[in-house]
Chains A and B, each alone.
Chain A
Amino acid sequence: MSPLVDWVLGPYEFEFMRRALLVLIVVSIVGGVVGAFVVHKGLAFAGDALAHSTLAGVSVAFVAGMNVSAGALAAAVLTALGIGWTRERARVSYDTAIGILFVAMFSIGILVLSTRTSYTPDLFSFVFGDILGVSNSDIVGALILGVGVLLFVVAFYRELLFVAYDPQMARTVGLPARAFEYALVALVAVAVVVALKAIGIVLVNAMLIIPAATASLLVTRLQQIMLLGVAIALTSSIVGLQLSFHASVATSPAIVLTGCVLFVAALGWQRWRGRTVVAPDAPAAA
């Protein structure tokens, strides 16, 4: 084998690397698709809040001896619904509502953890991500949730697009716009949980934002942003995984930083193209 092929394929002789690759493929597809909505509906802060809120579910489930991923999912979905509810009911801004729920859930997590005196590596794998420790059941869980998210987006693509663009008109034709607004935040919550074990609470939001933001620099339609976002997420995941293996550093920051490099490259490409081409897409006069 040539050294390059060995460099690329060698790591996958290890089962933990094959598992990592598998879970990253699921994370990339879900992140690219859901991320398009996160970036274009201003849900970046909500995504971060949902990620941090999972600490409450993780720690409670851990202390109670229940399934930790199920705890994370419950906490994220509850927080998603809470954000929607607070947005409607409380006379505070959306950002403020998210900010309050975020710190409340995170505080519950820290409080519960503080009752444990011994070091709990299982929990810290959720905070910083532990892609090489992903188990088969983690993969199955991510697959089930990921397929659920994708099915929902494909099934209700027209509704999600309509409500995102013009919720008022959507209501006038009898579309339950509010339900779909809740559903969208819930989708973000599930997407966060899909990536949580692999990437970790602190960095998981990057998997939703960076690929979609990078794709948005290059293409303009929602479907294109989703597809290119998935491709960009896969690229940064695989390159990041590879680099971290050979450099013996943590994987999730390697993936995130690879994504950031791609973002900067896309930004450069976009500006270069904007300067050299006589803007083909410039708005024509009315």
Chain B
Amino acid sequence: MVDAVHAHVPAREPLAPEHEHEGFALVVRDLSAGYPGFPPAIQGVNLRVPVGELVGLIGPNGAGKSTLFKSMLGLIRPQRGEVLAFGRPVERAREDIAYMPQIEEVDWEFPATVLDVVLMGRYHRVRPFGRWSKADHAAAMDALERVQLAKMAHRQVGQLSGGQRRRVLMARAIARGARLLLLDEPFAGLDAGVQHDLVRILDELAHEGRAILIATHDLTCVANSCDEAICLNHRVIAAGPSAEVLTAEVLTETFQRHLLTIPDAASAIAAVAAAGEHD
């Protein structure tokens, strides 16, 4: 089964290590990671995120998506392997990485304004008595224009709707001006119209030469919007162009019992994809 899946989607030809990161924003090599005292949540993960593309990372809950993200952000140390952003270890490439957390991870009740939050994207280092420059303000307002929230810059974030909260966090990631964006479940709980708007913004960003990795369990979104897909369940089940990767075989292996209620995964995907187009 495993071999069949991999045969179906051939891995990229390996490059010489010194050239491996050329054209790629992110290279994950033989990564095993997890929490100390527990078996690794991800094992032997190899993947690459090309510059200028929108890549979807899908897998069921508990597949290790968060662990993989935390490794990519330098929040947990790999037990084995490495994560390189633009050829450098992620801890030394922080300026090049922007992150959009799940909205549940943020304290929306704290009395911050939309502008306060977007300015956080411009933060680079601890500097006593540091103040935001005019350039920081301009970048933050540009990012807010992009997600169409500029008029709400002085609103308290607690007053925003779910869709607006996601757009604020996306604006913060954009304001950073980073070449690699890591977005964790940016569309969860959004209706199709709002989701479509956000995907359009991400498409623009990708066309400008940014690399974007989206962790999601929303197959429709990956099928419709992402150039490439990576299917994860503790290891990489398959990776490559979305149309080739999202097959019944791969999805069954990725989601396992999570998809058991659907007899034919391929037709299910076709159905959700079609529904997505209607929206």
Determine the chain B residues whose CB is within 8 A of the CB of A155 once the complex forms.
128-129
Q: Is the CB of A225 within 8 A of B111?
A: yes
Residue A261 is within 8 A (CB to CB) of chain B in the complex: no
Contacts A165-B117, A166-B105 given; does A222 touch B160 at CB 8 Å: no
In the bound complex, CA of A282 to CA of B152 (Å): 12
Give the contact stretch, choosing among B24-32, B35-43, B161-169, B259-267. B161-169
Contacts A156-B128, A161-B116, A175-B123 given; does A286 touch B162 at CB 8 Å: yes
A280 to chain B, nearest CB (A): 11
Given A41, A158, A161, A286, which contacts B164 in the complex, CB threshold below 8 Å? Answer: A286
Give the contact stretch, choosing among B3-11, B13-21, B94-102, B212-220. B94-102
In the bound complex, CA of A281 to CA of B158 (Å): 11
Q: Is the CB of A165 within 8 A of B194?
A: no
In the bound complex, CA of A176 to CA of B116 (Å): 19
Q: Is the CB of A221 within 8 A of B113?
A: yes
CB-nearest residue of chain B relative to A156? B128
A108 to chain B, nearest CB (A): 34
Given B116, B124, B155, which contacts A173 in the complex, CB threshold below 8 Å? Answer: B124
Q: Which of A161, A164, A172, A221 has the most CB of B within 10 A?
A: A172
CB-nearest residue of chain B relative to A216? B111
B193 to chain A, nearest CB (A): 9
Taken residue by residue from 100 to 114, chain B's Cβ proximity to chain A (1 for < 8 Å, 0 otherwise) reads as 010001110111110
Determine the chain B residues whose CB is within 8 A of the CB of A172 once the complex forms.
73-75, 94, 97, 99
CB-CB contacts below 8 Å: A226-283 with B:
281-283
Residue A162 is within 8 A (CB to CB) of chain B in the complex: yes
Residue A40 is within 8 A (CB to CB) of chain B in the complex: yes
Q: Is the CB of A169 within 8 A of B120?
A: yes
Determine the chain A residues whose CB is within 8 A of the CB of B130 once the complex forms.
158
Given B107, B123, B155, which contacts A158 in the complex, CB threshold below 8 Å? Answer: B123
Interface residues on A, range: 20 to 34
Q: Is the CB of B194 within 8 A of A166?
A: no
Determine the chain B residues whose CB is within 8 A of the CB of A220 once the complex forms.
111, 113, 156, 158-159
B82 to chain A, nearest CB (A): 17
Contacts A165-B107, A175-B126 given; does A286 touch B194 at CB 8 Å: yes
B54 to chain A, nearest CB (A): 21
Taken residue by residue from 169 to 182, chain A's Cβ proximity to chain B (1 for < 8 Å, 0 otherwise) reads as 11111111000000
A285 to chain B, nearest CB (A): 6
Contacts A162-B120, A166-B101 given; does A222 touch B162 at CB 8 Å: no
Residue A154 is within 8 A (CB to CB) of chain B in the complex: yes
Q: Is the CB of A40 within 8 A of B110?
A: yes
CB-CB contacts below 8 Å: A23-48 with B:
36, 40-41
Given B123, B152, B156, B157, which contacts A162 in the complex, CB threshold below 8 Å? Answer: B123
A209 to chain B, nearest CB (A): 15
A159 to chain B, nearest CB (A): 6
Taken residue by residue from 201 to 237, chain B's Cβ proximity to chain A (1 for < 8 Å, 0 otherwise) reads as 0000000000000000000000000000000000000
Residue A136 is within 8 A (CB to CB) of chain B in the complex: no
Q: Which of A36, A159, A283 has the most CB of B within 10 A?
A: A283
12 example contacts (A-B, Cβ-Cβ < 8 A) are as follows A161-B110, A161-B120, A165-B112, A165-B116, A165-B120, A165-B157, A166-B101, A166-B120, A171-B75, A173-B124, A175-B123, A225-B111
A interface, CB within 8 angstroms of B: 36, 40-41, 154-156, 158-159, 161-162, 164-166, 168-176, 216, 220-222, 225, 281-286
The 9 closest A-B pairs by CB, nearest first: A286-B163, A155-B128, A220-B156, A286-B161, A172-B73, A222-B111, A166-B106, A283-B159, A172-B99
